[in-house]
Structure 1
């Protein structure tokens, strides 16, 4: 396989250490996460859920910089399809965008809310949006993307997610076709696309200019089949091991990285293996092996700013 140094810039995220929440008794302390990230050989990190890492810019800069780490982007959750929550969502997104920019990063991964509870799997709202909600969603995405771009020099990257209203390939395509490429891009999460039955290579081929950021992960085919057969929630699927260490799952990593390397712009490719909840000693060995495997696929850790 052709090596792609500095074109696809490898990093990782708290998610790969079993972190889903700002605070949770099952999660590692953030300093241990940062120390193990360095030990695993990564130079770049995504911030993860707001409040897990320090939210004071100076403290965050010290914790990250003292370890020789750099920040690829921030993460925020919000309901674009709920106009009555716009003010609250905007305020939350501003806080995360401000911290992201202060850390020297220019990408904000935006994750829509799940229609099923992460803990317990109860349905929180219908799984399919109506046309009016879709209109509200795409208009809000454009408005939010414009605000954070103009005020913080941060780009909105919508993250398709299992058990969300942007999960399947038709939903991803509807979102892309309804939003402004100037202000909104896609965080291509290879595992979540596979979870929703989508085709990563087809999305890269047909929407190359919209791929602004990447989460790389694989899903276990037998568990994916159980998700459909047993109507499992994503939280339950994770407990059953749906998110697996490469190269054990789908999609195949090699063709995806080759396709991404063929795009015009450099890209952050951030490792995410959903491990919540997990024992404290589980993530580090997986992170080391994953970095080495992805390195064999042409993914390196070096790089400079990606605007």
Structure 2
């Protein structure tokens, strides 16, 4: 069982309002989202597209509900934009997160990404970096991580993601081997590892020492198989329900939680299961996920 003083539970707003598919959950307000998160028993949230960008306004809304911001997605374009341009946007987001009291920023390399392209199949069409691009990417991540840690007191965690240049186990391994553990950690996502065909248990065992943030999502394998067979996009898969909450799909979370517990994981574990809220009521699924995690971890 996890130590409640060291491990906290959060949930992502993407179940209420989808950043990449704005029509999903367009009827759900920010206030409804954070109120239902708190009602379901979570204390942390990431930043969604309807969240106020004014720190004081956002802080007040969250404090009223006993919640806090624990992370925010950051889109890097290290291999297609000048570093200085990426750094400027990165610093702006770090400033916001520091004001919010967050300790984590979750970066994803979005150069050539197909995750947001609705007409591009997610399987078989991802971009593969060459050696020069790998060098630019890894050195850039080290520079960003050093800025985050030394100037803002925030840890950079890298989010491996379907449709991006760091998706598969070999790509994650190359990134981890060529970045500095002092500045670059892993955002471990059970769903994205499973989606690409990796074993999430093997991955958590391999990288436990460098995991600083955890996304808990489950997979409906029959939907992933349909996405692969019919050459559908990542976003098509989201609409169809490829992702779901922990305990509602094919992933065995017991040994994953055991590894995280045994290796002394500290920080947030965050339910992040983007679905169509018209099909999967966000509050209902948030409560179900919360009960499942409590049963398995004692949190």
TM-score (norm 2): 0.90
Cα 1:242–1:25 change in 2 (3 A) is: closer
Q: How many residues end up aligned between the 2 structures?
A: 295
1:303 matched residue in structure 2: none
Deviation of 1:117 after TM superposition, in Å, equals 5.3
2:284 matched residue in structure 1: 285
Quick check: 2:223–2:241 contact (8 Å CA) kept in 1?
A: yes
Moved more, 30-39 or 13-22: 13-22
Cα 1:233–1:54 change in 2 (3 A) is: same
2:108 matched residue in structure 1: 111
Cα 1:158–1:199 change in 2 (3 A) is: same
1:141 matched residue in structure 2: 141
Question: Superposition pairs for residues 53-64 of structure 1, below 5 Å?
Answer: 53-64=51-62
2:8 matched residue in structure 1: 9
1:193 matched residue in structure 2: 193
Measure, in 2, the Cα distance between the counterparts of 1:214 and 1:126.
24
The structure, 1 or 2, with the larger RCO (C-alpha pairs under 8 Å, 6+ apart) is 1
1:70 paired with 2:81, answer: no
Measure, in 2, the Cα distance between the counterparts of 1:200 and 1:191.
8
Write out per-residue CA displacement over residues 140-163 of structure 1, whole angstroms, 9 at most, x where no aligned residue: 100111111111111110001111
Measure, in 2, the Cα distance between the counterparts of 1:235 and 1:97.
28
Moved more, 220-229 or 56-65: 220-229
Cα 1:99–1:9 change in 2 (3 A) is: same
Provide the secondary structure at the position in 2 that maps to 1:110. Answer: strand
Of 93, 96, 100, which residue of structure 2 is paired with 1:96? 93
Measure, in 2, the Cα distance between the counterparts of 1:22 and 1:235.
8
Provide the secondary structure at the position in 2 that maps to 1:31. Answer: helix
Provide the secondary structure at the position in 1 that maps to 2:188. Answer: strand
TM-score (norm 1): 0.88
Cα 1:144–1:299 change in 2 (3 A) is: farther
Provide the secondary structure at the position in 2 that maps to 1:167. Answer: coil
In structure 2, the gaps of 5 or more residues are none
2:221 matched residue in structure 1: 221
Quick check: 1:48–1:75 contact (8 Å CA) kept in 2?
A: no
Measure, in 1, the Cα distance between the counterparts of 2:249 and 2:144.
35
